[in-house]
Chain A
């Protein structure tokens, strides 16, 4: 891969030159820090794991940063031998060597660590709801879709937010996918089909979900497993609350999607 080449040749060049003078070591560390961060960002880009971290609208920013950091690393490698006194600009909070080591360590950790899509535990910790009123996102537009099967879970929640009466949606066809949560306070034959919604990055991911009324115990569907559910809508009373609920006609186990979030 063309991406990896500069770092490899860089390492060879560094070994050849050795590190006798102290300033050269600093430069060597700079190249390593910049290169490591570039590689980490390239890795998330190429493996598609960036989907687990960012909203797709902002991925180009991270991807450009990967390219620019690589360019800076190469520049430092080629031009770094000439030493030019930079003007004094900052007094720093951390000693420069420590900063470099923190940056390098985290870049390496990022290169090894594979981000995981948030799942049930995170959803419960964040406080799941079937309404967006508790969350930050206010619907900015309301798009009427031709058919109700095309709505995703977040589309359903947004629609409910605008018109909350569950009976209004009775018998509408539904076809959604999401991961399984077993809310403790719900009866055995109900599970929650849930999705995380992202506005900017994983830091603001919040869960939304719809109840599913099963004919059997929910133990048949393990928490965190992914399901594609077809069926129709009905109103059921769960824990004394009237809620829009899916009555499934077909439940299919699916693998976790490459992009598990909705927007």
Chain B
């Protein structure tokens, strides 16, 4: 009985701490959806592969979205012709390298500032490297989901073709151009000007929708964290959590399964702070936002499985090596 009460207290403490950050996260992601035009941003991006990778990885500073919000943004970036290095860098780094996540991590790990900063550094290293690797593939269409590849800018460049010759449903705009209605990305990028009141309502509707989706995942994640803390014998956790290697592998697996949103995952990791090695907590915080079950579902709408497997293998290996180094030589 007391264990149940402890578990519930733990569960609600995680939720009460995380919900404000979730609210901030969905508010930003909804505002961006309606008030920021990515096309303007792409014009300012560097074109060389390495600089593109770095710029893409750092773009999260302006797009404080978690790993559920970043796939749609990355998709819009690709469709609008952003280089592959920018898009992949953004995809991997944005959920971690943004002000909201940094603040939440700081709140959770203020006693261990090294975790807060190393989370950013490790994520940057991994994201820039993978984005650089992907820049060897300047034409991304072979690795993209066919539906996304069809919307790529090459088609737009050949747009002198009369739109009447293209299949689909089109809307003739007042300036004589056309808007393809059965192309969600095009609608997003070319939303006709809407009155402010309607935009606000769209923002709030989107916030509620995201809050429900992510909130439910947060609840499941918090329940798992609370259960592990009160129900699993402490000896087991310590045996697993104090070993340099198994602790990292366990936390990476947990990160992939739990799929908790990056805005609030630091609170989840915090509940393992006293039992798991520092490297393992970092592995959770770095790997989780890049790849998890929920995220793979989202990535499948963007990439072909082959590309997802590449990203997964590269991210997992680098994350493991960096955090193992941390366990062996730093902490």
Chain A: minimal CB distance from B280 (Å):
13
Q: Does B111 make an interface contact (CB < 8 A)?
A: yes
Closest to A64 in B: B20
Q: Does A99 make an interface contact (CB < 8 A)?
A: yes
Q: Does A220 make an interface contact (CB < 8 A)?
A: no
- Residues of chain B lying within 8 A (CB to CB) of residue A94: 213, 216-217
- In the assembled complex, the Cα of A251 lies from the Cα of B112 at a distance in Å of 37
Q: Does B15 make an interface contact (CB < 8 A)?
A: yes
Q: Does B230 make an interface contact (CB < 8 A)?
A: yes
Q: Does B162 make an interface contact (CB < 8 A)?
A: no
Asked if B23 contacts A65 (CB within 8 A), the reply is: yes
Q: Does A62 make an interface contact (CB < 8 A)?
A: yes
Pick from B3, B8, B9, B111: contact of A199, CB under 8 Å: B111
- In the assembled complex, the Cα of A64 lies from the Cα of B301 at a distance in Å of 36
- In the assembled complex, the Cα of A64 lies from the Cα of B23 at a distance in Å of 10
Q: Does A12 make an interface contact (CB < 8 A)?
A: no
Q: Does A50 make an interface contact (CB < 8 A)?
A: yes
Asked if B10 contacts A203 (CB within 8 A), the reply is: yes
Asked if B19 contacts A115 (CB within 8 A), the reply is: no
Chain B interface size, under 10 / 10 to 19 / 20 to 34 / 35 or more = 35 or more
Closest to A203 in B: B271
Asked if B8 contacts A86 (CB within 8 A), the reply is: no
Asked if A125 contacts B9 (CB within 8 A), the reply is: no
Of B85-93, B136-144, B166-174, B199-207, the one touching chain A = B199-207
Q: Does B293 make an interface contact (CB < 8 A)?
A: yes
Q: Does A22 make an interface contact (CB < 8 A)?
A: no
- In the assembled complex, the Cα of A50 lies from the Cα of B6 at a distance in Å of 15
Asked if A203 contacts B14 (CB within 8 A), the reply is: yes
- Residues of chain B lying within 8 A (CB to CB) of residue A106: 15, 219
- In the assembled complex, the Cα of A58 lies from the Cα of B267 at a distance in Å of 13
Contacts A69-B23, A93-B297, A199-B110 given: A103-B16 contact, CB under 8 Å? Answer: no
Asked if B72 contacts A79 (CB within 8 A), the reply is: no
Chain B: minimal CB distance from A162 (Å):
16
Contacts A72-B208, A119-B2 given: A89-B10 contact, CB under 8 Å? Answer: no
Pick from A41, A102, A135, A140: contact of B274, CB under 8 Å: A135
Asked if B201 contacts A79 (CB within 8 A), the reply is: yes
Asked if A200 contacts B215 (CB within 8 A), the reply is: no
Q: Does B12 make an interface contact (CB < 8 A)?
A: yes
- Interface residue ranges of B162-197 to A (CB < 8 Å): 184, 187-188, 191
Q: Does B48 make an interface contact (CB < 8 A)?
A: no
- Residues of chain A lying within 8 A (CB to CB) of residue B19: 37, 41, 62, 65
Asked if A87 contacts B184 (CB within 8 A), the reply is: yes
Give B270-310 as 1s and 0s: 1 = Cβ < 8 Å from A's Cβ atoms.
11011000000000000000000110011001000000000
- In the assembled complex, the Cα of A137 lies from the Cα of B215 at a distance in Å of 30
Contacts A76-B208, A99-B216 given: A203-B267 contact, CB under 8 Å? Answer: yes
Asked if B9 contacts A44 (CB within 8 A), the reply is: no
Asked if A103 contacts B271 (CB within 8 A), the reply is: no
Q: Does A238 make an interface contact (CB < 8 A)?
A: no
Q: Does B161 make an interface contact (CB < 8 A)?
A: no
Contacts A136-B112, A204-B271 given: A93-B2 contact, CB under 8 Å? Answer: no
Contacts A72-B208, A137-B111 given: A202-B23 contact, CB under 8 Å? Answer: no
Give B104-115 as 1s and 0s: 1 = Cβ < 8 Å from A's Cβ atoms.
000111111000
Pick from B13, B207, B210, B217: contact of A93, CB under 8 Å: B217
- Interface residue ranges of B3-34 to A (CB < 8 Å): 3, 5-6, 8-10, 12-17, 19-21, 23, 33
Number of residues of chain A lying within 8 A (CB) of chain B: 64
Give A56-70 as 1s and 0s: 1 = Cβ < 8 Å from B's Cβ atoms.
001001101100110
Give A79-116 as 1s and 0s: 1 = Cβ < 8 Å from B's Cβ atoms.
10010101111111110101110110010011001011
Q: Does B225 make an interface contact (CB < 8 A)?
A: yes
Closest to A224 in B: B2
- Residues of chain A lying within 8 A (CB to CB) of residue B3: 121
Asked if A125 contacts B17 (CB within 8 A), the reply is: no
Contacts A84-B201, A126-B274 given: A92-B14 contact, CB under 8 Å? Answer: no
Pick from A34, A65, A90: contact of B68, CB under 8 Å: A90
Q: Does A181 make an interface contact (CB < 8 A)?
A: no
- Residues of chain A lying within 8 A (CB to CB) of residue B215: 99, 103
Q: Does A54 make an interface contact (CB < 8 A)?
A: yes
- In the assembled complex, the Cα of A93 lies from the Cα of B296 at a distance in Å of 10
Chain A: minimal CB distance from B235 (Å):
10
- Residues of chain A lying within 8 A (CB to CB) of residue B220: 102
Q: Which 9 A-B pairs have the closest CB atoms?
A: A202-B13, A99-B216, A61-B20, A203-B271, A53-B13, A65-B20, A201-B17, A115-B9, A201-B13
Interface residues of chain B, those whose CB is within 8 Å of chain A, are: 2-3, 5-6, 8-10, 12-17, 19-21, 23, 33, 68-69, 72, 107-112, 184, 187-188, 191, 198, 201-202, 204-213, 215-217, 219-220, 225, 229-230, 234, 259, 267, 270-271, 273-274, 293-294, 297-298, 301
Pairs A–B under 8 Å by Cβ, sample size 22: A34-B211, A53-B17, A54-B16, A58-B17, A61-B17, A65-B20, A69-B23, A72-B204, A75-B204, A84-B202, A89-B209, A90-B298, A91-B297, A92-B213, A100-B212, A103-B212, A103-B215, A121-B3, A138-B111, A203-B10, A203-B271, A204-B108
13 further interface pairs, Cβ-Cβ under 8 Å (given A115-B13, A138-B112): A53-B17, A54-B13, A87-B184, A89-B206, A93-B217, A93-B259, A98-B216, A106-B15, A106-B219, A116-B2, A204-B270, A204-B273, A204-B274
